[in-house]
Amino acid sequence: SESGSGWLLSGFIVINAALGAGLLNFPQACHLAGGVGSTLTVQFVLLSFIVGSLVLLAFVSDRSHAATYQEAVASLLGRTGRLASAACIAVYCFGTCITFVIIIGDQWEQSFRKKTVAGKPRQAKFLQAKFLQADFDKQNSASKVRKAKFGKQISSQFLSPTTRSQPYASKRLVMSVSSLVLILPLCFTKRIDFLKYSSAAGVLGVLYMCVMVVVKYFIGGSSSTSVRTRPHSLVDVFNVVPTICFGYQCHVSVVPVYSCMRRRCLPQFARTVSFAMLICFLAYSATAVFGYWSFGAAVQSDILRNYDATPDVLIGMCLLAFKICTTYPILLFCG
């Protein structure tokens, strides 16, 4: 179809479906797996199976003229297989979309909290001082005192360094606004190639975070804590497998992407998959290697929590939240 997407933009949709929040956990997975060497080896081995499975899905879709993963399964396993796969995909997409919304709220809230704790904006100080002064001003009328107390409550909730008293108050607001403003407009589509430009923007946003991790390693130097160079046992190597499998999970969306390509043929889709998996491999590997070398055994499950609240880190958190907003419609479309 002339209205379809080319192999390059189709690749961005596949990258956007695969490359996501799992990126934050790769440095710690690198530590648990016994270092950089074992992590890259396992990732490369699994990647060969992942690429093969994606091309195989396109082959089945081509033979059966399927436009969705469920239709491809139905061509092989019949109506029962289609219903079973549809139920599994619905549950998977529903759970993943809920997780996306939670991660969006976490990233926005964490960026706001880091900015407030580290920067202590003058505006927050001014408002808090104003409310406190009004609260203790004995010369004001009762109505002004009530207004000051109300303002103090608002200030303590949204402008205080921490939100431990009501940790979900601001998160719920951010999740609601992000869902309505960023996610909802992308959900009204009959074809998945409608998301090609938003996917490209989301991928560029998450690649910024990868570059940031690499640059901070060369600026800040390596970690003073111990860095593992080999696994203690074979079991350690398999610790990285769940993270890698989660990080490259895009199989449900590749069939709709293939069905919307301008030139629907296996050679073109092979270029799409090769480009997408290469970008994912480089992004995951760079973040895992330089993130782990930066913090060593002290690396956390969310690599961004290891960094101070500098402007570039806050930008990375916001871009990650934006990227997940562009991934949500892909899973919603497939579900």
Query: Across all residues in the chain, what is the average pLDDT?
Result: 81
Identify whether 135 is part of a domain. Answer: no
The predicted model gives 215-219 an average pLDDT of: 91
Does residue 20 register a pLDDT over 70?
A: yes
Identify whether 125 is part of a domain. Answer: no
201 against 220, higher pLDDT = 201
Does residue 15 register a pLDDT over 90?
A: yes
Identify whether 277 is part of a domain. Answer: yes
Identify whether 44 is part of a domain. Answer: yes
Burial class (CB in 10 A: 0-12, 13-18, 19+), 38: buried
Confidence of residue 156 (pLDDT cuts 50, 70, 90): very low
Lowest mean pLDDT among 34-38, 85-89, 124-128, 141-145: 124-128
Identify whether 177 is part of a domain. Answer: yes
The predicted model gives 220-244 an average pLDDT of: 81
- Which tens digit of pLDDT belongs to each residue from 121-145? 444 444 444 444 544 454 455 444 4
How many domains are there within the chain?
1
pLDDT above 90 as % of the chain? 34
Residue 266 CB-half CA count within 13 A: 14
Q: Are the beta carbons of 13 and 199 closer than 8 angstroms?
A: yes
Identify whether 118 is part of a domain. Answer: no
Instruction: Give me the count of residues in the chain.
Output: 335
**How far is Cα 299 from Cα 285, in angstroms, rounded to an integer?**
15
| Beta carbons within 10 angstroms of residue 235's beta carbon | 9
Helix (H, G, I), strand (E, B) or coil at 243: helix
The predicted model gives 6-22 an average pLDDT of: 90
Residue 26 CB-half CA count within 13 A: 32
Q: Are the beta carbons of 11 and 197 closer than 8 angstroms?
A: no
Identify whether 160 is part of a domain. Answer: no
Task: Identify the domain containing residue 176 by its residue range.
Answer: 7-111+170-334
pTM flag (> 0.85): no
Identify whether 80 is part of a domain. Answer: yes
**How far is Cα 67 from Cα 82, in angstroms, rounded to an integer?**
13
Helix 36-64 to helix 266-295 angle (10° resolution) is 160
